[in-house]
Structure 1
């Protein structure tokens, strides 16, 4: 199995993740928009056991943004890197933090009910008002 490497902008934090993503998509929720400063973010969900911080653990900051999500970012450069989902034993990797493309590309748009009104989705991927059905 291929191992992907990711990092923050300043490269003080690096991580590795096995290329075994269970799902991937574009999230347009207001929290992803705020944390990314963009119309949303591309994420891939993976079992926690396939993810590891390889450098810079001391620089990693955590923000408990909801009962189900802990946003993790670099305390030096501010890059958002991943979200911990302890209740489902998953990590949501921000695809933009990866140094190479994962094999599973985004499959859908989620939380489009709260997407920015100035952003128009123009691809043909399925769109879901909240989370896609399991």
Structure 2
């Protein structure tokens, strides 16, 4: 489902007046993030909910990953700096839209109508939020063949 920028910034979107005020009052605490190609860039003043590592099937498939770090951010603390026209949304379950960059495919956040927050994909942050995950959720949907806890770890891949 492709949304126009006016649909993203309508009743389900971010309160730009409050965001500007909040950012001016606390510019030192601003966190920035982006998609892989940098076409979409955002900032937020804080994470409003704990970071959780989600293992649900929908997150795994939407992000092509075995697990995904997520955290809630109040819409009034979040704003897009550029690339709003590059955002595309997919309704992964009734009422839940997952927003991703139409250029590189990075999944950035999800949102539901009527909620005052978005669910940020924490790995898209370019700055350290200063918080660590509280734990793992939806582990009942884990795939045993994706468990890497018993595998050797390497700081980088050698050729």
Q: 2:81 aligns with which of 54, 64, 74?
A: 54
Of Structure 1 and Structure 2, the greater helix share is in 2
Q: Secondary structure at 2:51's aligned position in 1? A: strand
Q: TM-score with structure 1 length normalisation?
A: 0.83
Deviations 1:61-109 (A, max 9, x none): 0111112421000001111111113343211111111001112221111
Match of 2:48 in 1: 21
Pairwise CA distance, 1:29: 0.5
For 2:47 and 2:66, the matched residues in 1 are separated by 26
Higher gyration radius (CA): 2
Q: Sort the Cα spacing of 1:4 and 1:61 in 2 relative to 1 into closer, same or farther, 3 A.
A: same
Q: TM-score with structure 2 length normalisation?
A: 0.71
CA RMSD after TM alignment: 1.6
Say how many residue pairs are matched: 122
Of Structure 1 and Structure 2, the greater strand share is in 1
**Which segments of 5 or more consecutive residues in structure 2 lack a partner in the other structure?**
1-25, 150-159
